[in-house]
Amino acid sequence: MEAAPTMAATLDLARQNPNAPMIDAVVDFVAPKPQLVGQDRADLLNILEDIGVPEKQRRMRARQLWNWLYVRGVHDYDAMTNIAKDVRTALADAYSITRPEIVAEQISQDGTAKWLMRFPARDATEQPVDVETVYIPESDRGTLCVSSQVGCTLTCTFCHTGTQKLVRNLTADEVLAQVLVARDRLGDWPDQETPPGMTAPRDGGRAVSNVVMMGMGEPLYNFDHVKKALLIASDGEGVSMSKRRITLSTSGVVPEITRCGDEIGVGLAISLHAVRDELRNELVPLNKKYPIAELLEACRTYPGASNARRITFEYVMLKGVNDSLADAKELVRLLKGIPAKINLIPFNPWPGTAYECSDWDQIERFADVVNRAGYASPVRTPRGRDILAACGQLKSESERIPAWKKRAMSAALAGEAPDPYDAAHLDAERLAAQQATAENG
């Protein structure tokens, strides 16, 4: 297979204005190979066919690849010793199995780990993107908090991620890679041990025993990629995460909730946070589209929900906002008839927020009302606050390239002049950059 193409793009306004200099540096882009990680069984069979593996061998080779990728955690083709060298070479020429770059790793005083992972640009009009993934070890479990998007569209006012505009959805391989990287760093593959400096459950079981889709982004707005990643992660012959130990958290994308139960079959968590529409409209603006009554009706009919498999309702405790005893009583009333547990989350502050965490005494009084009504209402112990890894604190510095600039870059790659509208934006950006340089100089 030929080497990946290198493309150079220069955003040049000279075609329309001879006096205008070229703006933006030349962009050299090497198209990345597609990832083999994130491919399901059917995909692997198709890939093996494409590289010329005889039909009689494909199912065997697919099983071998599945085992190496998702049971052994291998990310080097040379380690796949029971696969013929010519097959490995053909795969390596066409597909990557490398992990994303770990830009930063932080370990909290309480043992919580946070990784900032970088995924490469997919084409010449994109930039690499960063996402955060958090690992929370406890005595009997290890929970991995996985991101589904770079940024978020929902702008929930109490959430740090909501201050970062959506850059793009993560692909299935990028969602799954977060699980694989965490297992790498925790020594969670066969014949490996937890490395020094990392904390894992003390019960001798798996380091990553639970996965929660509660990181950056709204997973139900990236349904297909999240579904594919979670079905691979829960495959009993691969990563083998129990679906009972996978929870998907949504702010309330009502049309996709039933699909989640039918097609993925994992546990459901609802970011509720308010018991009145007028307040939830402010805290979770998606409520204006799918109000509380519609959301709770979708929960009542969620496939698989039962007293043995309850829906988790997440409720962040905001001082003087949603923490009154009247709020607690209304919460109990709203959830009547739903197999539910209520997770009370002390607000975790982040730079620039106007909210404060409820006083601990008030949280306990709120919990007592809920408990007396017969609902389990654990108060989530804040973890990783010192490294901004706690609930609602995740954010990366990735920014979305404006559509006009992507169009102009595409035009430059094709050797065409930019659209006049886009050219005007480019000219304004160039002038702003010149002014900033002059002021700083």
- Active-site annotation, residues: 132, 391
Cα angle 316, 115, 100 (rounded to 5 degrees) comes to 130
Rounded Cα distance between 250 and 328, Å, is 21
Rounded Cα distance between 374 and 369, Å, is 9
Token pair 């035009």 is at which residue?
Answer: 411
Rounded Cα distance between 344 and 347, Å, is 9
Rounded Cα distance between 140 and 342, Å, is 21
DSSP states of 324-389? SHHHHHHHHHHTTTS-EEEEEEE----TT----BPPHHHHHHHHHHHHHTT---PBPPP-SGGGT-
- Strands 246-250 and 168-169 come out as unpaired
Q: Write out the two tokens for 282.
A: 């402010």
Rounded Cα distance between 152 and 159, Å, is 10
Q: What are phi and psi of 23, to 5 degrees?
A: -120, 150
Rounded Cα distance between 397 and 55, Å, is 46
- Strands 210-213 and 246-250 come out as parallel
What Å distances lie between residue 268 and 191, 295, 312, 416, CA to CA? 33, 12, 6, 49
Please compute Rg for the chain using Cα positions.
Answer: 24
